[in-house]
Amino acid sequence: MRRIADSTVRRLSLYLRFLEESTNRGLVTISSDELARRGGTTSAQVRKDLSFFGSFGKRGLGYSVPELTESLREILGLRRDWQVIIVGAGKIGTALAQYRGFRQRGFRVTAVYDRDPKKIGTRWDALTVRDMAEIERDIQKEHPDIAVLTTPAEEAQVVVDRLVSAGMRALLNFAPIQLQVPPDVTLKNVNMAMELEGLSFALTNRDR
Amino acid sequence: MRRIADSTVRRLSLYLRFLEESTNRGLVTISSDELARRGGTTSAQVRKDLSFFGSFGKRGLGYSVPELTESLREILGLRRDWQVIIVGAGKIGTALAQYRGFRQRGFRVTAVYDRDPKKIGTRWDALTVRDMAEIERDIQKEHPDIAVLTTPAEEAQVVVDRLVSAGMRALLNFAPIQLQVPPDVTLKNVNMAMELEGLSFALTNRDR
pLDDT tens, residue by residue, B168-189: 999 999 987 879 999 999 999 8
Instruction: Indicate the CATH number for domain A6-75.
Output: 1.10.10.10
Alpha carbon distance A174, B95 (integer Å): 12
User: What is the number of residues in chain B?
Assistant: 208
Average pLDDT over residues A94-109: 87
Question: What is the pLDDT confidence band of residue A76, given thresholds at 50, 70 and 90?
Answer: very high
Instruction: Indicate the CATH number for domain A82-194.
Output: 3.40.50.720
pLDDT attached to residue A2: 59
Question: What is the pLDDT confidence band of residue A153, given thresholds at 50, 70 and 90?
Answer: confident
CA Rg value for chain B: 20
pLDDT surpassing 60 at residue B65: yes
- Greatest CA separation for chain A: 63
Fold match between domain A6-75 and domain A82-194: no
pLDDT attached to residue A208: 46
User: Where is B155: in which H helix or E strand?
Assistant: helix B153-166
Alpha carbon distance B90, A95 (integer Å): 9
pLDDT attached to residue A22: 92
- The model's pTM is 0.79
The strand pairing partners of A187, in sequence order, are A171
List chain A residues with CB under 8 Å of B170: 199-200, 202-203
Domain ranges of chain B: 6-75, 82-194
| ipTM of predicted complex | 0.89
Instruction: Render pLDDT for A189-203 as a digit per residue (tens, 0 to 9).
Output: 888 888 899 999 999
Using the Cβ of B145 and the Cβ atoms of chain A, whether some distance falls under 8 Å is answered with: yes
pLDDT attached to residue B189: 87
Q: A148 near A87, Cβ under 8 Å? A: yes
Query: What residue type is A102 in one-letter code?
Result: F
Please provide the average confidence, as pLDDT, over all residues in chain A: 90
Please report the residues numbered 49 through 108 in chain A whose beta carbons come closer than 8 angstroms to any beta carbon of chain B.
75-78, 82, 84, 90-92, 94-96, 98-99, 101-102, 104-107
The strand pairing partners of A87, in sequence order, are A113, A149
Contact across the interface for B193 and A38, Cβ inside 8 Å: no
Q: Which residue has the higher pLDDT, B207 or B28?
A: B28
CA distance A58 to chain B (A): 26
Average pLDDT over residues B122-151: 95
CA distance A180 to chain B (A): 10
User: A150: closest CA among B124, B114, B195, B156?
Assistant: B195
